[in-house]
Every structure is written in structure tokens, then in C-alpha cells.
């Protein structure tokens, strides 16, 4: 079963910025234990562009699709046998990243 694991940051109360080495070590472990599918940190939401081409013409808008205090800072995709395993890893991930984590199953 695959889970999308989102790292949530808060603009008014951001997590610490020195987590990179700890996250790298955690990623090494995810790979070694067979959970790792994909991981990526994201640029600031200011760098996002939303495209809507459902009408006659593509409309571009500058910025994320929803403006909020909390935003997606990075994602993982994990392969785990069940939610308990994913939640246990996510609890560690939250410590390692110093941020909140959302775990959501793929369909």
C-alpha cells in the first residue's frame, strides 16, 4: 500500500531550518528498510503557478491554489504494509523534520 506523506509547515511558526542532515539520514533508513518510493522538498509557495485550462483559454495565476498559513513543504511516497507502520514512520518523520506530517493513502 502506498501513502502520500506530506510535510506541513506553518508560515507564522516555521519549523527549524537545520534539519537537512537528519532528514538525509532518515531517508537512508527508509531506503534500506524498503519503505522509500519517492521524496522531495518543495520551493516556497510563492514559486507556484496555477493553470486553469477548462475554459476556452488557459488562465495562469501566480501563487498557490490556496493561500493559507499552513502549506505543503515537501512530500514522500512510502510503501508500507498498513497504516500502523506508516504512522510509526510518520511520527519519526515529524521529529526529524520538526514539522507536522499528514499521511494519506493512495487509492
Partner 1 sequence: MSDVREAIARAHHDEWARVIASLTRRFGDLDIAEEAAAEAFAAAVERWPADGVPPNPGAWLTTTANRKAIDRIRRENKRDDKHKEARMVYDDPPEPVGAIDDDRLRLIFTCCHPALAMQTRVALTLRMVGGLTVPEIARAYLVAESAMGQRITRAKAKIKAARIPYRVPSAEDLPARVSGVLAVLYLVFNEGYLATGPDTDPLRPDLTIEAIRLTRLIRALMPGDGEVAGLLALMLLTEARRTARVSAGGELVPPTEQNRGAWDTGLIAEGHRLVRERLAAAAAGVAPGRYQILAAINAVHTSARDIRDTDWSQVLALYDQLVRLDSSPIIALNRAVAVAELDGPQVALAAVDRLEDTLTGYHAYHATRADLLRRLGQSRQACAAYDKAIELAGNTAETAYLTRRRDQLR
Nearer to partner 1, 23 or 86 (CB): 86
CB 37 within 8 A of CB 27: no
| Chain residues 64-93 in contact with partner 1, contact rule CB under 8 A | 81-84, 87
* Residue in 1, 25, 31, 59 binding partner 1, rule: CB under 8 A: 1
Does residue 65 contact residue 78 with C-beta atoms inside 8 Å? no
Q: Is 105 in the site for partner 1 (CB under 8 A)?
A: yes
Contact of 3 with 87, CB cutoff 8 Å:
no
> What is the end-to-end Cα distance of the chain in Å, rounded?
9
- How far is Cα 34 from Cα 38, in angstroms, rounded to an integer? 11
Which CB sits closer to partner 1, 22 or 85?
Answer: 85
Size, binding site for partner 1 by CB under 8 A? 10
Cβ-based nearer residue to partner 1, 40 or 81: 81
Residues that bind partner 1 (CB under 8 A): 1, 81-84, 87, 103-105, 107
Amino acid at each position: 500500500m502506498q501513502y502520500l506523506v506530506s510535510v506541513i509547515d506553518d508560515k507564522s511558526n516555521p519549523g527549524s531550518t537545520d534539519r537537512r542532515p537528519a532528514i538525509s539520514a532518515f531517508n537512508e533508513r527508509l531506503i534500506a528498510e524498503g519503505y522509500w518510493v519517492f521524496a522531495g522538498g518543495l520551493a516556497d509557495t510563492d514559486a507556484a503557478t496555477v493553470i486553469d485550462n477548462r475554459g476556452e483559454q488557459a488562465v495562469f495565476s501566480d501563487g498557490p491554489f490556496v493561500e493559507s498559513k499552513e502549506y505543503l513543504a515537501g512530500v514522500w511516497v512510502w510503501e508500507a504494509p498498513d497504516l500502523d507502520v506508516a504512522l510509526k514512520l510518520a511520527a519519526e518523520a515529524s521529529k526529524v523534520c520538526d514539522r507536522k506530517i499528514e499521511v494519506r493513502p493512495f487509492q
